[in-house]
Chains A and B, each alone.
Chain A
Amino acid sequence: MSRIDSRNLAREFSKAANCTQKAALAWLKSYDYDYPLALACWQEVKEQEVREKKCDKLFDQYASAEDKSTIDLDNSLQLFEDLGLSLEDPATLLVSYLFQSENMGEFHRDAFVKSCLSLHVCNMEQLKSRVSEKKEEWSSNAELAKAVYRYTYPLACERGQRTLPTSIAIEFLQLLLKDSFPLLSEFVAFLEQSPVANKTLPKDTWNQLWEFAAFVRSCPDCSQYDFEGAWPVLIDEFVTYFKNKS
């Protein structure tokens, strides 16, 4: 393509895309002067930027006064309220998962914006309806439920800690497994009297509890439980305890 042609094309592009001719030329060049493709991409990028800005704005509404890059605990209460969620609602864990929060009630700007974009939302209404959609999905999509469950363990840990005290773990278990784990109350009772009550619950045991809950759903009396299987010892002990009791 001759120089003149390319310049004409750039002029046309700059009009359509509302940018300087120089920028238009560079953009076109990177798309090998394929005008329609370049324009489509340009518009998409612009839209993305607009959405990102909107998300940023959304984040700004809740950003902490001291540190603009985070939403702190107080402000996240507001966020949950605006989303129509009470603090006791387990869906707060879902939201934390969706925004990849690293600590309870704390959100980072980058992760927040990225998540908003991937959820295709850029304002509060959209976000709210998206969250309630996800909430629906949560109860039906086992994959998502498992991901949220697993995500909760590091989320629930104290800052800088890698293991979760059993007492706190019990609270979260009650939030997350109350509908899916038929022996939850027995298990909690077992935990409270066992030697780990004052210690921590290992992450592996936490993760495997999800599988164990699924197992118990298929076999409520644990008669098919395989002690040789890959279950953590704590679950072995629980089954022994449970069988002795009943």
Chain B
Amino acid sequence: MQGKVKKIVVRGFDPKKTKERQENYYHDTLKKLDVALSVIMSGLGLNSGYQELYVGVQNLVRAGQTESCLELLLRHCQKGIAELKELALASISTAVDESCKAVIHCWRQWTERIELIHNIFYYMDRAYLIRVAGQTSILEFSVSLFRDDFMSFDEIRVPFLNQLTSLFEQLRNGNNVDKTLLKDASKMLQQTHLFDKLFFPMYLCSLETNYTSASQAELQKVPLDEFLLYIERCLKHEEDIVHEMFADNVLVDVNAVLDRCLVSQHISSMTPGLKDFVLKRKTDSCKSLYTLLKRVDETKLLCDPWSQGIVALGSSLVNDPNHDDSLISELLEIHIFLKDVLKHAFLGDEALSYSMRKSFETFLSSLPSTRREKPAELLAKYIDHLMRSTKSVVGNNTFDNVCAELLDIFRYLPNKDVFEAFYKRDVAKRLLLNKSANTDNERKLLEMLKEKCGSTFTHSLEGMFKDVDFSKDFSKSFKESKFGRSLHYDLFVNVLSLAYWPTYPDTTITLPPELETDLDIFKNFYLSQQTARRLAWRPALCYCLLKAEFPSGSKELSVSLFQACVLLLFNDVGDEGLSYVDIQKRTQLNDNDLTRTLQSLCCAHVRPLLMQPKSRRITKEHRFFYNQHFTNPHFRIKINQIQLRESKEEKASVQEEVVRDRQFELQACVVRLMKANKTMTYNQLVRQTMDYLQIRGKPDLSEVKKGIEKLIEKEYIERTDDTNLAYVA
């Protein structure tokens, strides 16, 4: 294309004239703008001509007249803000919210005007102000203008902030306040970047003063549980205000202040209340308290009142003999309640869960010596009832759940060996008398115990089950053998290992000859199968079924062996009956057992025998007769053996057993420790012994000391000086 430039000629075009016209146009436009800005700044709206003005600005900018445009704009803005300031100053007053209203009014006006101006000068803003370094956009500079030339005046700013703060105070107190005003004020402060610098510190300060005193007053006025609700309400309220009025990011700071004056301030008055909540079973209040303390990360302060509450709750139960019948079920109930609190109110807090365990141990182990063994004994009894009952569901809980709960209680017991002794007795009774409702349940519980306490603890219990199983199989093979076929009676024998079972008294009794031969047959069979064993009979544990032909009809009597032996004597006596002495001579029973047996046969509800003379007690002078007029609606009748002072004696013997076992265990433990360590200090030995024995039952300090002294005396260990002990090989 170079070199061949074509010239285009436009007719009627006169550059000189055009320039002049242009100048005129610019001048006019600027003038129009000037007028328009004046109108806008004076608060009057323009009726029309926006388009023209917009295009005018566009043209001016394009023509490089930006400077004069900007200068015009600045001049008017400055003038406008000055006018607004005058306006505001005129209406500033100390009345409730006048200043606030005035300032916000000005702000609204200002933003409205700037809005219009921004629209008109839009092209300049986009094309020039935003792109050129060192220039700020219209909106930005209008805001800074408002900040620097309006809000910077103390006469305006101070009353405004004060009133705004007090307006927020009113909002906080639930008074009716113009919320739009507050919202606008908050928006203005944020836009002018004055919020963080000027307003927010004041807001926090007022928040703190307000709640510090208000919450104190409330605490004096209402009970603690209501106070907690009050605090929760306050917290919620403030949070709502923040969400409504401010940006979310200030919530952290607001909460920090609230935590300080609503929670931290009252910690010492709030935490002790937990004890009361526990006692009164207020799960919700517990939850409130925990949630509040969680905010300030002080939940550990709850451990003490929590455990005080539990100990108080538990001690009142376990110390009161009147509660014994329902002690375990009430303990279970408390435990379930506390676990519920722990789970729902305390969200499974580790430290609190630990102190709950400790508290249970505390109140169960701090009983007076007369009642120390009671919980263990009652727990065993409770389980016995449970095992005997045929219901598979207790309350609305399955057997497994109940067992898990019971084992929790068991875990807290300081004297597990006492429990074991009682439990063992009960298991023995259930197994021998077939009283267990469900063998699976028995085994399930046994497994659970084993899991908790190790196999040494359940060793003998397992042995008992093994014996019973073995006996079943053995009896079966016995009956199938040639020995079994020569029996007179249908004989079932439980073969028990002495070591596993509780000790039972060895009673002498003269059995009917056929039974005697049957037993011998069994004995021979057993000894032919098993080598190196010794069999001894325990007649006191036997029971049998007697067929009886009464004039009123035939009956089956389910009786103990003692009762059967006495009843069988009356087969061959006539109307003259038998005297006490005769019966004793023929059965060889001792007085205790015989009176017990006779009493059950002729003084109880079911009376197959009669006595002469009639009385409540049996003496040696009594005679006994067969009851010809015996009637009973049932075919099979169970005649209970009278449990003569049994429970008391039994308890004492269990107790004795436990004490004896404990001493052995303790001394064995001391010797083991000394043997392993050779030398130890006295205190070390005591402590380690206690630690070792804790699984079964925590011994007293003095018991441990006595055990050590005994071993010193037996010369297993010796004192090397005041506090050191050495093992004597």
Chain A contact residues, CB within 8 Å of chain B? 163, 202-205, 207-208, 211, 227-233, 236
Asked if B712 and A202 sit within 8 Å, CB to CB, the answer is yes
Chain B, residues 685-726, CB within 8 Å of chain A (1/0): the string is 010000000000000011001100100110000010011000
Asked if A202 and B683 sit within 8 Å, CB to CB, the answer is no
Residue from the list B681, B709, B713, B719 in contact with A233, Cβ < 8 A: B709
A207 to B721, CA, bound (A): 10
A233 to B705, CA, bound (A): 6
Asked if B702 and A207 sit within 8 Å, CB to CB, the answer is no
Could you list 13 A-B pairs, sorted by A, with CB under 8 Å?
A163-B713, A204-B712, A204-B719, A205-B709, A208-B722, A211-B722, A228-B683, A228-B686, A228-B701, A230-B681, A230-B682, A230-B683, A232-B705
Instruction: Sort chain B's interface into a size bin.
Output: 10 to 19
A236 to B723, CA, bound (A): 15
Q: Which residues of A contact B705 (CB under 8 A)?
A: 231-233, 236
Q: Which residues of B contact A202 (CB under 8 A)?
A: 709, 712-713
Q: Which residues of A contact B709 (CB under 8 A)?
A: 202, 204-205, 232-233
A227 to B683, CA, bound (A): 11
Q: Which residue of A lies closest to B706 (CB)?
A: A233
Tell me the B609-626 residues at the A interface (CB within 8 Å). Answer: none
A207 to B723, CA, bound (A): 12
Tell me the B256-315 residues at the A interface (CB within 8 Å). Answer: none
A231 to B708, CA, bound (A): 11
CB distance from B701 to the nearest CB of A (A): 7
Q: Which residue of A lies closest to B705 (CB)?
A: A233
Q: Which of B701, B706, B722: most chain A CB closer than 10 A?
A: B722
Asked if A230 and B722 sit within 8 Å, CB to CB, the answer is yes
CB distance from A38 to the nearest CB of B (A): 44
A235 to B638, CA, bound (A): 58
Q: Which residue of B lies closest to A237 (CB)?
A: B702
Q: Which residue of A lies closest to B702 (CB)?
A: A233
Q: Which residues of A contact B722 (CB under 8 A)?
A: 208, 211, 230
Q: Which residues of A contact B702 (CB under 8 A)?
A: 233, 236
Known: A204-B709, A231-B705. 16 other contacts (CB 8 A): A202-B709, A202-B712, A203-B712, A204-B719, A207-B719, A208-B722, A211-B722, A229-B683, A230-B681, A230-B682, A230-B683, A230-B723, A232-B705, A233-B705, A233-B706, A236-B705
Q: Which residues of B contact A236 (CB under 8 A)?
A: 702, 705
A204 to B720, CA, bound (A): 11
Q: Which residue of A lies closest to B723 (CB)?
A: A230
CB distance from B407 to the nearest CB of A (A): 32
CB distance from B673 to the nearest CB of A (A): 15
A230 to B687, CA, bound (A): 12
A106 to B670, CA, bound (A): 39
A226 to B688, CA, bound (A): 19
Q: Which residue of B lies closest to A204 (CB)?
A: B712
CB distance from B726 to the nearest CB of A (A): 13
Tell me the B662-692 residues at the A interface (CB within 8 Å). Answer: 681-683, 686
A91 to B226, CA, bound (A): 81
A16 to B706, CA, bound (A): 67
Q: Which residues of B contact A230 (CB under 8 A)?
A: 681-683, 722-723
CB distance from A54 to the nearest CB of B (A): 39
A205 to B709, CA, bound (A): 8
Q: Which residues of A contact B706 (CB under 8 A)?
A: 233
A241 to B712, CA, bound (A): 24
Q: Which residues of A contact B712 (CB under 8 A)?
A: 202-204
Q: Which residues of B contact A205 (CB under 8 A)?
A: 709
Q: Which residue of A lies closest to B681 (CB)?
A: A230
A227-B719 CB under 8 A given contacts A203-B713, A204-B712, A233-B706: no
Q: Which residue of A lies closest to B719 (CB)?
A: A204
CB distance from A229 to the nearest CB of B (A): 7
Asked if B683 and A204 sit within 8 Å, CB to CB, the answer is no
CB distance from B713 to the nearest CB of A (A): 5
Q: Which residues of A contact B701 (CB under 8 A)?
A: 227-228
Q: Which residues of B contact A163 (CB under 8 A)?
A: 713
Tell me the B232-262 residues at the A interface (CB within 8 Å). Answer: none
Q: Which residues of A contact B723 (CB under 8 A)?
A: 229-230
A233 to B702, CA, bound (A): 6
CB distance from A5 to the nearest CB of B (A): 56
A204 to B718, CA, bound (A): 9
CB distance from A191 to the nearest CB of B (A): 16
Q: Which of B705, B706, B712, B713: most chain A CB closer than 10 A?
A: B705
Asked if B713 and A204 sit within 8 Å, CB to CB, the answer is yes
Asked if A229 and B719 sit within 8 Å, CB to CB, the answer is no
CB distance from B359 to the nearest CB of A (A): 23
Q: Which residues of B contact A231 (CB under 8 A)?
A: 705
A208 to B713, CA, bound (A): 13
CB distance from B691 to the nearest CB of A (A): 15
Q: Which residues of B contact A227 (CB under 8 A)?
A: 701
Asked if B682 and A229 sit within 8 Å, CB to CB, the answer is yes
Q: Which residue of B lies closest to A235 (CB)?
A: B705
Tell me the B73-110 residues at the A interface (CB within 8 Å). Answer: none
Q: Which residues of A contact B719 (CB under 8 A)?
A: 204, 207-208
CB distance from A184 to the nearest CB of B (A): 20
A202 to B710, CA, bound (A): 9
A133 to B332, CA, bound (A): 75
A205 to B708, CA, bound (A): 12
A232 to B701, CA, bound (A): 11
Q: Which residue of B lies closest to A226 (CB)?
A: B683
CB distance from B690 to the nearest CB of A (A): 11
A231 to B701, CA, bound (A): 12
Q: Which residues of B contact A232 (CB under 8 A)?
A: 705, 709
Chain B, residues 486-502, CB within 8 Å of chain A (1/0): the string is 00000000000000000
A236 to B686, CA, bound (A): 15
Q: Which residue of A lies closest to B712 (CB)?
A: A204
Q: Which residues of A contact B686 (CB under 8 A)?
A: 228
Q: Which residues of B contact A207 (CB under 8 A)?
A: 719
Chain B, residues 180-212, CB within 8 Å of chain A (1/0): the string is 000000000000000000000000000000000
Tell me the B636-657 residues at the A interface (CB within 8 Å). Answer: none
A208 to B708, CA, bound (A): 14
Q: Which residues of A contact B683 (CB under 8 A)?
A: 228-230
CB distance from B659 to the nearest CB of A (A): 16
Q: Which residues of A contact B713 (CB under 8 A)?
A: 163, 202-204
CB distance from B315 to the nearest CB of A (A): 24
Q: Which residue of A lies closest to B687 (CB)?
A: A228
A200 to B722, CA, bound (A): 21
A190 to B464, CA, bound (A): 48
CB distance from B654 to the nearest CB of A (A): 24
CB distance from A210 to the nearest CB of B (A): 10
CB distance from B465 to the nearest CB of A (A): 40
Q: Which residues of B contact A211 (CB under 8 A)?
A: 722
A236 to B713, CA, bound (A): 18
A211 to B724, CA, bound (A): 14
Q: Which residue of B lies closest to A214 (CB)?
A: B722
Counting from the closest, the 5 A-B pairs by CB-CB distance are A230-B682, A204-B712, A230-B723, A233-B705, A202-B713
CB distance from A241 to the nearest CB of B (A): 14
A41 to B298, CA, bound (A): 85
CB distance from B635 to the nearest CB of A (A): 59
CB distance from A169 to the nearest CB of B (A): 14
CB distance from A225 to the nearest CB of B (A): 14
CB distance from A172 to the nearest CB of B (A): 18
Q: Which residues of A contact B681 (CB under 8 A)?
A: 230
Q: Which residue of A lies closest to B704 (CB)?
A: A233
A104 to B702, CA, bound (A): 34
A230 to B713, CA, bound (A): 15
Q: Which of A163, A204, A205: most chain B CB closer than 10 A?
A: A204
Q: Which residue of A lies closest to B725 (CB)?
A: A230
Q: Which residues of B contact A204 (CB under 8 A)?
A: 709, 712-713, 719
CB distance from A92 to the nearest CB of B (A): 27
Q: Which residue of B lies closest to A231 (CB)?
A: B705
A232 to B681, CA, bound (A): 14
Q: Which residue of A lies closest to B710 (CB)?
A: A202
A20 to B6, CA, bound (A): 166
Q: Which of A202, A203, A227, A230: most chain B CB closer than 10 A?
A: A230
